[in-house]
Structure 1
Amino acid sequence: MIQWIISNIWTIIICAVLIGIVAAIIISMVRKKKQGKSVVCNCGNCKNCAMSGSCHKR
Structure 2
Amino acid sequence: MNLGTFLILLVVVAVVGLVIRGMVKDKRAGKSSCGGDCSHCGSVCHAPKKTQK
Shorter-chain TM-score range: 0.5 to 0.7
Q: Which structure 2 segments of 5+ residues have no match? A: none
Structure with the higher helix share, 1 or 2 = 1
3-state DSSP of counterpart to 2:11: helix
CA RMSD across the alignment: 2.7
3-state DSSP of counterpart to 2:22: helix
Work out the number of aligned pairs and report it: 47
Q: Distance in 2 between matches of 1:38 and 1:51?
A: 14
Task: Give the drift of 1:45.
Answer: 5.9
Question: Are 2:13 and 1:25 aligned?
Answer: no
Q: Deviations over 1:26-54 (max 9, x none)?
A: 11111111111225x3xx46142352217
Following superposition, which runs of at least 4 residues in structure 1 exceed 4 angstroms of deviation?
A: none
TM-score, normalised on structure 2?
Answer: 0.64
Q: Which structure 1 segments of 5+ residues have no match? A: 1-6
TM-score, normalised on structure 1?
Answer: 0.59
Question: Are 2:23 and 1:34 aligned?
Answer: no
3-state DSSP of counterpart to 1:51: coil
**CA spacing shift, 1:28–1:36, aligned 2, 3 Å:** same
